[in-house]
């Protein structure tokens, strides 16, 4: 939901008698002039308001906030720099959080904040979009526009940074769209994939994977002899004439209905790869020694 200012902070701002009242903190604190007046009310001898410019231009914003950062560093007030930058660019929830921290530092009081009004670390409008209906949420293009400010492009013209940021917004929008489609399959006519439709029995704790595999399939469903004959025919067509003697000895073992567990045999490796389709008990019959 949209970040809102607590009632205690609004009363506190009215008691300071600012030149321009703070109605919407996201807009009124962006240029830093109103925030400078808040600090001037407590440090009137150390902050000169004639040094601030009351304007919307980027240069005016940078100058005002540079003076504020210099003063905060001098007084050692723990206001994060990234929070100031987010307020400068008019990010969602940044100005409200800045007022909360300033209120706590100057008055030594804790303002009450409603739990539903959460903010993320990037100060994006994603928490607000998640509280809307799926047909009311912004699309991908609108999400990029909402979370990319023109002042960011001017102050930090890094193509790689903004490209990476846009990719993260696109990935988040794609994940949200998949979540919405999974929650409303009838509206979007979503069809389950083959892997989702396949039934899988859970593995019991008292069974090993091999025992579970043997009990899960019918031992008489398929024969290892027929599979071995097909695989042997393919191998004979692939191998050269130099391997005829080796294939002949392999065929002799297969005709007996037994497959020797030899890791050097190419057919044995092929059968191992097909264990998900053929019962394990029909594939490997260990020769008794």
Percent of the chain residues past pLDDT 70, beyond the cut: 65
Higher pLDDT residue, 100 or 232? 100
Q: How far apart are CA 43 and CA 57, in angstroms?
A: 26
Average pLDDT value for residue range 21-47: 90
pLDDT band at 154 (very low <50, low <70, confident <90, very high): confident
The dihedral built from the CA positions of residue 20, 21, 26 and 27, taken in this order, carries a sign that is: negative
Average pLDDT value for residue range 274-289: 48
| Structure token pair of residue 136 | 């009311």
What pLDDT is attached to residue 283?
A: 46
Burial (Cβ within 10 Å: 0-12, 13-18, ≥19) of residue 278 = middle
Q: Give tens-digit pLDDT for 172-219.
A: 999 998 888 888 877 777 777 777 777 666 655 565 656 665 665 544
Q: How far apart are CA 208 and CA 222, in angstroms?
A: 23
Position 50 pLDDT exceeds 80: yes
What pLDDT is attached to residue 84?
A: 92
User: Picking from 169-178, 234-243, 257-266, which range would have the lowest pLDDT averaged per residue?
Assistant: 234-243
pLDDT band at 63 (very low <50, low <70, confident <90, very high): very high
Here the contacts of 267-273 (C-beta below 8 Å, separation 24 or greater) are 267/228, 267/231, 267/232, 267/235, 270/231, 271/224, 271/227, 271/228, 271/231
Q: How far apart are CA 171 and CA 38, in angstroms?
A: 40
pLDDT band at 136 (very low <50, low <70, confident <90, very high): confident
Average pLDDT value for residue range 33-54: 91
Calculate the average pLDDT of the chain. Answer: 75
Average pLDDT value for residue range 162-169: 89
pLDDT band at 159 (very low <50, low <70, confident <90, very high): confident
pLDDT band at 99 (very low <50, low <70, confident <90, very high): very high
Here the contacts of 207-215 (C-beta below 8 Å, separation 24 or greater) are 210/280, 213/275, 213/280, 214/279, 214/280, 214/281
Q: How far apart are CA 108 and CA 114, in angstroms?
A: 19
In the chain, where does the domain assigned CATH 1.10.418.10 lie? 7-107
Position 147 pLDDT exceeds 70: yes
What pLDDT is attached to residue 209?
A: 59
Higher pLDDT residue, 89 or 243? 89
Domain 7-107 fold is Actin-binding Protein, T-fimbrin; domain 1 (1.10.418)
Which residue, chain included where needed, has tokens 């083959």? 194
What pLDDT is attached to residue 127?
A: 83
Q: CA end-to-end span of the chain, whole Å?
A: 73
What pLDDT is attached to residue 242?
A: 43
Instruction: Kindly list the distances between the CA atom of residue 141 and the CA atoms of 36, 134, 166, in Å, as whole numbers in the listed order.
Output: 35, 16, 10
Q: How far apart are CA 275 and CA 282, in angstroms?
A: 10
Position 6 pLDDT exceeds 70: yes
What pLDDT is attached to residue 38?
A: 93
pLDDT band at 126 (very low <50, low <70, confident <90, very high): confident
Position 286 pLDDT exceeds 50: no
């Amino acid at each position: 939901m949209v970040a809102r200012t607590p009632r205690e902070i609004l009363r506190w701002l009215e008691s300071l008698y600012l030149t321009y009242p703070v109605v919407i903190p996201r807009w009124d604190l962006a240029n830093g002039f109103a925030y400078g007046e808040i600090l001037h009310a407590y440090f009137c001898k150390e902050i000169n308001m004639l040094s601030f410019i009351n304007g919307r231009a980027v240069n005016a914003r940078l100058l005002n906030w540079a003076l504020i950062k210099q003063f905060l560093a001098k007084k050692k007030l723990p206001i994060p720099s990234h929070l100031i930058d987010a307020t400068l660019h008019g990010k969602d929830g940044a100005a409200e959080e800045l007022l909360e921290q300033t209120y706590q530092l100057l008055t030594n009081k804790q303002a009450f904040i409603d739990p539903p009004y959460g903010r993320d670390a990037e100060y994006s409008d994603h928490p607000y979009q998640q509280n809307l209906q799926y047909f009311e949420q912004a699309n991908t293009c609108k999400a990029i526009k909402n979370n990319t400010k023109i002042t960011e492009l001017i102050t930090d013209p890094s193509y790689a940074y903004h490209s990476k940021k846009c990719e993260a917004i696109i990935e988040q929008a794609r994940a949200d769209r998949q979540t919405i489609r999974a929650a409303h399959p009838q509206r979007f006519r979503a069809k389950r994939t083959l892997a989702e439709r396949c039934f899988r029995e859970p593995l019991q704790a008292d069974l090993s994977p091999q025992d579970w595999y043997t009990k899960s399939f019918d031992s008489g469903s398929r024969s290892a002899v027929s599979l071995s004959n097909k695989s042997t025919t393919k191998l004979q067509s692939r191998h050269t004439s130099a391997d005829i003697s080796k294939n002949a000895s392999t065929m002799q073992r297969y005709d007996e209905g037994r497959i020797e567990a030899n890791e050097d045999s190419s057919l044995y490796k092929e059968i191992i790869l097909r264990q998900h389709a053929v019962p394990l008990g029909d594939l490997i019959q260990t020769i008794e020694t």
